[in-house]
Amino acid sequence: ERINWASAMQEKLDQFASLKVWRLVLRPEGKSVIKTKWIFKNKKDESSLVIRNKATLVAVGYSQQEGIDYDETFAPVARIEAIRLFLGYASHKDFTVFQMDVKTVFLNGILKEEVYVGQPLGFVSKQYPDHVYALDKALYGLKQVPRAWCDV
């Protein structure tokens, strides 16, 4: 089972590389570095059998300070009345409505601030152990992530 989790973690880091989420840089003087942590979840089928291990790397955003690490936050939430109106109109006009989920939606948000995170446990560079990651795109757990996604 340990191998399954390691491959799930590597899969997530490969996604970060393909989406150009971060760059390994020398730790900057006077800048705060946010810790990261792994979140693990088993994906199950209808009969509750584990079909896949899922690992997500998140920033420990609760350590961020407003005005220092980020300027503003925003959570895009539709009011239930707007959703009902939309669905009612779509039904009246016999429109087809699709719901979708983008697996890496937050990783597409461009950050306005300089944000640095530590290297994830178990994946620290042997060549550059004192380096940190400079984020070019949003990482789950940061306070400014929903706003960064809305700016896309």
Count of structural domains, the chain: 1
Other residues' Cβ atoms within 10 Å of the Cβ of residue 18: 10
Joined tokens for residue 87: 């669905």
Extract the residue ranges of the chain whose pLDDT is less than 50.
Answer: none
CA distance 81 to 14: 40
pLDDT score recorded for residue 149: 53
pLDDT score recorded for residue 44: 85
Decide if 25 contacts 134 (C-beta within 8 A). yes
> Could you say which DSSP state residue 125 is in?
-
Q: Please give the biggest Cα pair distance in the chain.
A: 62
Task: Tell me which residue range forms the domain holding 129.
Answer: 2-150
pLDDT score recorded for residue 132: 96
Matching residue, tokens 């994906």: 43
Joined tokens for residue 96: 């087809």
DSSP per-residue codes, 74-102: ------HHHHHHHHHHHHHTT--------
Decide if 31 contacts 114 (C-beta within 8 A). yes
pLDDT score recorded for residue 64: 54
pLDDT score recorded for residue 92: 96
CA distance 39 to 9: 10
